[in-house]
Chains A and B, each alone.
Chain A
């Protein structure tokens, strides 16, 4: 029997695709599944990260505390992401910032051992409000919120890093750097005065794109872009605003420069300084940082438009155990992310687990029965990350 090319090609393709998927699944299955906190312990004590394993149901179990050899501050800006996770080829690293010691530490995921650390120039400081991180496959960028500088650190094998250079940045009204996100060769930053700016990072060190502007929301008053996320295709940049309600702004950046933002009022949750797109980009998760809830908005990645989605109930322990909500992380790397984790700033801090459902234009956010999970090592948790991270 002969087999024609036309007949076996689709089969071969299917087999290859299947092998690839299985291979991917196998690789995924071999990867550890962690949730990592930057415990941000203030002086005089040494800070650390806490690592939790994530089980198949998305539940967290404390695995270990890993001293990182520096000192944190126990708080600061909501939008400064103090944990970034790299999952690029063989590079599996966790990077955390240490605000008082003003350095960045790399942790090897497979061994949970310190790979290396580096600090920026002597001018780079973040001991008042923290050091935020954003990264691509080659560099990790650190926003030093005291000095309002962005440090560029080159990624080296073994989760080591090397300081390259820093630049000083400022908002149009003199605001200091707040949130930051990276996509390919573009970095987008927010400033505390309501202005936003993008940078070209194709050569490593950020170069301003010349598009610094006050966001549309800030021009209206009382709403200030803080947290930043960028869509997988790099078409839109989304800003979570510090505001008296849930306010998100979206800018089309497909031209390589920020365009005037479109403002979305998405509910009565108090502020929206931290945001995170779901892996399938259908939902935008919003941490109502000065409130007690999480909000989800529907996102149309083809148009960049947002619409109201759903709001969680009051998360357990507000006021009695914790005071603020911090950054977000996801339990899964596909679909809606399955479980949304949010840092709860208290003493000790905790991590809330919120289950997501989304179908037929409706969604729900429901806190899991065993939530929150205590982070006994953090007197002021604001930043968490998941490994493996969202694919973009």
Chain B
């Protein structure tokens, strides 16, 4: 059940120069949230942040009725939300969008680039509930952008790659040595991050004939299927990322990979 509610900020923590985690408490018991679901947050009251901003739901606490969001500052909206203080009210529409599927398969590789880690704590939790685990390959431009790593530890192995080479292997995510193994250690891939990275991962998955789901980002006016702005081209025509996604199997997309 989608809800529109005033949440209260109960925690706000900067992780580095450009990202933070904000935790908000719901006024009533939370609706169930699945990995990949997102929320539309009203930041508002500024002429330059007119629309809500969509954020992947990073973590959920069903006992305390809190949602948290991992936010990277990219513009006015994310900067303004970064100034929120404990006790502030924030209006949120949630849960929106579809979710990652839990595959039958057991060797799951999660590929996350930069702020693309956002949906994967919930994914790790859901895998754990199904007695599964994953390998988390996490990449970023700079070592200081690698944050919140320890949170993934309970849900599987962690591999790191950075373009500056100061943490983990050096290079782009798709250059990680895991992809060079003759005996490729996975049979299902899920990915979220910059589009060129996801396209490259989708290409690798396709080449190795491995099932793959991607979580897409898109500019949205509403987030619930009314505006028809956030489309992606699929084999069945244009689809709204907000209602038919954000998670798509790569076979649905028309990406040339």
A, B: real partners: no
List the interface of chain B (C-beta within 8 A of A): none
Residues on A lying within 8 angstroms of B by beta carbon are none
